[in-house]
Structure 1
Amino acid sequence: MKPKLPIHCPSCENSLSVSQLSCEHCKTLVSGNYGLPLLMQLSDEEQHFIMQFFLSSGSLKEMAIQMGNSYPTVRNKLDDIISKIKTLQNK
């Protein structure tokens, strides 16, 4: 199992940023201070929800059936994720 990229500091819980990238082929290193992509800033659960939304062609009705939840529950979860993404974009 591949280790998951951490997005929060294990010591203080603040957001982490990427400071180094490397090429496995030629061993080039690139250093700097780069923010994480927006979708990586979401929790595993939120990322999974978005993937299921995508794979169900955006059908909340289909997702509700697959998840065993009501349509309003799934809709509320989507609204919460949309709200969180808007907040992250404004940072």
Structure 2
Amino acid sequence: MKLPIVCPSCESALQVSQMKCNNCETIVSGNYELPLYLQLTREEQEFILSFFLSSGSIKEMAKQAGNSYPTMRNKMDDLIEKIKNLK
């Protein structure tokens, strides 16, 4: 199941309010922001994972995806800008 990151009603960012240990039933409650990585879309998360698994080679990512290097570089630049704005 995909972790929701935006409210289905108003599209505001969701925050974590409770986590539970399935082993001992301990419950931790509060109001916590999602980690930066989880604030990204699934596609953006997959892009980062692909970058990591290709040893940081945008050229290799482009080859695997069947895209040009400039296309992948632009996607990378857009994602970098988004992450800077989330921080």
| TM-score, length of structure 2 as denominator length | 0.98
TM-superposed CA distance for 1:4, in Å, is: 1.3
Q: How many residues align?
A: 87
Match for residue 21 of structure 1? 19
Distance 2:40 2:16 in 1: 16
Match for residue 77 of structure 1? 75
Q: Which amino acid aligns with 2:16?
A: V
| TM-score, length of structure 1 as denominator length | 0.94
Match for residue 44 of structure 1? 42
TM-superposed CA distance for 1:5, in Å, is: 1.1
Match for residue 33 of structure 1? 31
Partner of 2:30: helix, strand, or coil? strand
Match for residue 5 of structure 1? 3
Q: Which amino acid aligns with 1:86?
A: K
Q: Which amino acid aligns with 1:37?
A: P
Moved over 3 A (4+): none
Q: Percent identity?
A: 68
Distance 1:51 1:70 in 2: 19
1:51-88 deviations in whole A, cap 9, x for unaligned?
00000000011011000000000000000000000000
> Aligned-residue CA RMSD in angstroms?
0.4
Unpaired segments ≥5 residues, structure 1: none
Q: Which amino acid aligns with 2:62?
A: A
